[in-house]
Structures are given as C-alpha cells and as structure tokens.
C-alpha cells in the first residue's frame, strides 16, 4: 500500500509532529516529474507527498482537453500504479484551489472519490487544499467547513489557508498584496480553529502565512517571521487546549534560510511545498543539453541533426536526475530522511 490510506496518512502527520520534521510536498505535472520525486523519496527512505495544482491538472489532461480535474485524476491513477514499486508511503494531494475553481476542480474530485468508494475502490486522493485566502475570513471558513464535512465523510484530509502567500504561482497572483496580508494573526488562527474543530471526524492542515512568497528569491530576500506560527499556536492552545494545535503547512519557501525552515518545524510545520526549486532543477539540465547539442537538436543548413540528441529521453532523463537530487535535498533540509513508516 505505498499510496497512503487515511489511517496511514494520519500516522505520517502524527509522526512528523511528534518528531519535528516535515514532508516535502512536490508539485508534479507529468509521469516524468512523478518518477523523479518517487525515486528521491526512495533514496532518502522518506515518505512524502505528491501534489497537483489546477494548472498542473489542466496541463496533464492535454492541450486539446484542458480539464483540470480530469488531468489530476489521470496523474493520481499513474501514481497509484508506479508507487507500488517504491519502498515508502506517498500521499496524493491537490494544491491551491481558489474559491472560484471549487466547482470545476475540488467538487469533481470529491465526486470521483465518492464513485470509487461506492464501487469498493480505494481513494485516489489523500488530501485536498481549499485556498479561500482571497475571501473574508468568515466566508473562507464557511466554505472550508462545508468542504471539511464532505472530506470527513470520504476519509480525505483538507488543507485550508488564511492570509495571503505573496508572489505568483500557477495563475494566482498576489504580487500586489498589502504587507499586512502576508502575516496571519493569532486572532485569525483562533478563528480558524474555532470554525473547523467541531466538524466530526474532520482532519485538516492549516497554511498560515508568515511572510511567505511564491517564486524565485535569493536567500535573505524573503522576510519571514516564523514566530507568528509560534504565537498563533500558543493562542490556539490557550483557547482550546494543547490538542487544538494545528498541523501547519509552509508555502512559498524558495529563498528561505535553512535556520528559518528549521524554526518552523519547532512550531508544528509538518508539510512544506516544493515547486519553484524543483521546476528549476528539472529545466536546468534541459537548457544545458540544448546549448551543448545545438547542432544535433536542430536541423542546421540542410542537415538532419542527431537523433540521439533530439530524442526527448536523452534530456528528460537528465532532468529527472537533477530534480531527484533536489527532492532528496529537501528531505535532508526538512529532516524527513530515514523516517519512512513503510515496512514490507
């Protein structure tokens, strides 16, 4: 059962919280990026999370289809098949679904889960993210609460967000967001806990924002305030007891100092999204291949090029290798190396 079922996924998150590490959550868009991430988790002896965004799902469905839910389902089905050959658990997650895409992304995926369960089949997805951060908090939590109720009935974990992650990713552009929106307040964290904690059987993760920014930044350029997580968790514990503390998610971590990443692990971060860095790691060898083999890739001056150089496998293998190395480094940075719960 390398794709984690609900009970196994809960054990994974509990293990991360108890031992103060986090799982790399790798955005994938193709069979090639899936294979790179799975190979890295195998080498690191780490469980992990693979996630697909609305844009990733649309891309995977094909340019002639452009159906984000359909593409996400296809990727998840591929993961279920190939993960059987790897000695670790992997959870399958969907990333950042804003409110205006719930009806064409999240709800069709929940409907597919309901259909599969009625047929006696396992869930395709382990968790989903609803990103209602653009909504007023009360409205955000109203939608999140309804989705959490539905997820609870289907043994699916829900991730929610309050506060805005700056920058731009996958068509969600918060580059002009006011600075104060980049920091979730303790009061907001208490309000999230109050809204969701009474959903019977519902388990959720919370992406609080503490200066996070999507995109590419040099170390030191992102002004994180990890103590926001500490203070928010303390406020929630005062209100609801220690059991009320969140399983936290770290978004927009590119350019973060390693010391800041480690500090967030102390405050309950159990999942960190990795996308920008793996995109670059995947693309870098392809660019290198094209520059070094320009004449072989292109038909120059009436010649026919070199098939060994323009065969996509020649450069995609190199792309997978560097992405694999970057995911393996993420396991080291997040202290998940050697923590797999999987035993044959």
Query: Which amino acids are annotated catalytic?
Result: 95
Q: Minimal CA–CA distance to 167: which of 101, 124, 212, 130?
A: 212
Q: How far apart are CA 21 and CA 332, in angstroms?
A: 10
Contact 86, 41 (CB under 8 A): yes
User: What single DSSP character describes residue 175?
Assistant: T
Structure tokens at 343: 């035993």
Q: How far apart are CA 182 and CA 172, in angstroms?
A: 15
Q: How far apart are CA 69 and CA 54, in angstroms?
A: 7
CA end-to-end span of the chain: 9
Q: How far apart are CA 13 and CA 294, in angstroms?
A: 47
């Amino acid at each position: 059962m390398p794709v984690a079922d609900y009970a196994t996924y809960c054990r994974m998150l509990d293990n991360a919280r108890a031992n103060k590490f986090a799982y790399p959550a790798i955005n994938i868009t193709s069979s090639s990026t899936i294979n790179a991430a799975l190979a890295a988790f195998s080498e690191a002896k780490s469980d992990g999370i693979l996630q697909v965004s609305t844009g990733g799902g649309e891309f995977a469905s094909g340019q002639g289809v452009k159906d984000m839910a359909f593409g996400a389902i296809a990727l998840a089905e591929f993961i279920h098949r190939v993960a059987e050959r790897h000695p670790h658990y992997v959870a399958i997650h969907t990333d950042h679904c804003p409110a205006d895409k719930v009806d064409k992304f999240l709800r069709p995926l929940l409907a597919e889960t309901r259909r599969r369960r009625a047929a006696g089949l396992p869930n395709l997805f382990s968790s989903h993210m609803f990103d209602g951060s653009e909504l007023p908090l009360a409205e955000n939590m109203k939608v999140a609460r309804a989705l959490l109720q539905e997820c609870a009935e289907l043994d699916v974990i829900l991730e929610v967000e309050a506060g805005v992650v700056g920058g731009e990713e996958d068509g969600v552009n918060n580059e002009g967001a006011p600075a104060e929106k980049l920091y979730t307040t303790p009061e907001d964290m208490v309000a999230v806990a109050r809204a969701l904690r009474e959903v019977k059987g519902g388990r959720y993760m919370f992406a609080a924002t503490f200066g996070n920014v999507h995109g590419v930044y040099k170390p030191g350029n992102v002004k994180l305030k990890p103590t926001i997580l500490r203070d928010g968790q303390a406020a929630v514990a005062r209100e609801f007891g220690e059991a009320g503390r969140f399983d936290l998610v770290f978004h927009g971590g590119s350019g973060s100092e390693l010391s800041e990443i480690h500090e967030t692990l102390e405050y309950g971060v159990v999942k960190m999204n990795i996308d920008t860095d793996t995109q670059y790691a995947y693309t870098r060898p392809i660019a290198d291949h094209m520059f070094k083999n320009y004449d072989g890739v292109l038909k120059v001056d009436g010649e026919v090029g070199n098939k060994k150089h323009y065969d996509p496998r020649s450069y995609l293998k190199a792309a997978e290798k560097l992405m694999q190395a970057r995911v393996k480094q993420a396991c080291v940075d997040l202290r998940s190396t050697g923590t797999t719960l999987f035993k044959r």
